[in-house]
Amino acid sequence: MNGEAALALAGMVVVTYGIRLSFLVFGHRLTFPAWLERALRYVPAAVLTALVVPMALAPQAAIDLSLHNAYLPGTVAAAVLALWSRKTLTAIVGAFVVFGLWRWLVT
């Protein structure tokens, strides 16, 4: 690793942990407006959607809506099970079962 890459890496470490540490050190003094607190409640769902949907729709960097894409039924099963049971573990295990069976039986 050259000096420039090491300096860039050190800068990323400082920024990342600086942001995280600031909430630990100053978190009890921070107050957000009510509208911002309402908006921040949707951040986890938005981030999860941004991570899952591209992988489910385009597992090989091209949109694949065929029967050979086992990610789609697994993702749909996870969503349905999560809404129905309200249990994360049930959704995860169910999605893995559907995904595995789909890959085994269909593809």
Contact 71, 35 (CB under 8 A): no
Question: Do 25 and 75 share a domain, yes or no?
Answer: no
With respect to residue 66, please indicate whether it lies within any of the assigned structural domains.
yes
The pLDDT of residue 80 is: 96
* Residue 98 in tokens: 């559907």
Range of the domain at 2: 1-30
* Residue 51 in tokens: 């991570």
What is the sign, positive or negative, of the torsion defined by CA atoms of 16, 18, 19, 21?
A: positive
Question: Do 96 and 45 share a domain, yes or no?
Answer: yes
Q: What are the C-alpha distances in Å from 39 to residues 46, 70, 91?
A: 11, 33, 26
With respect to residue 35, please indicate whether it lies within any of the assigned structural domains.
no
Question: Do 10 and 62 share a domain, yes or no?
Answer: no
Distance, in Å, from the CA atom of 4 to the CA atom of 45, rounded to the nearest integer, reads 37
Question: Do 53 and 91 share a domain, yes or no?
Answer: yes
Question: Do 54 and 90 share a domain, yes or no?
Answer: yes
Q: What tens-digit pLDDT sequence spans the chain (107 residues)?
A: 788 999 999 999 999 999 888 888 887 787 889 999 999 999 999 999 999 999 999 999 899 999 999 999 999 999 999 999 999 999 999 999 999 999 999 97
Task: Specify the pTM.
Answer: 0.66
The pLDDT of residue 32 is: 85
Contact 72, 56 (CB under 8 A): yes
The pLDDT of residue 31 is: 84
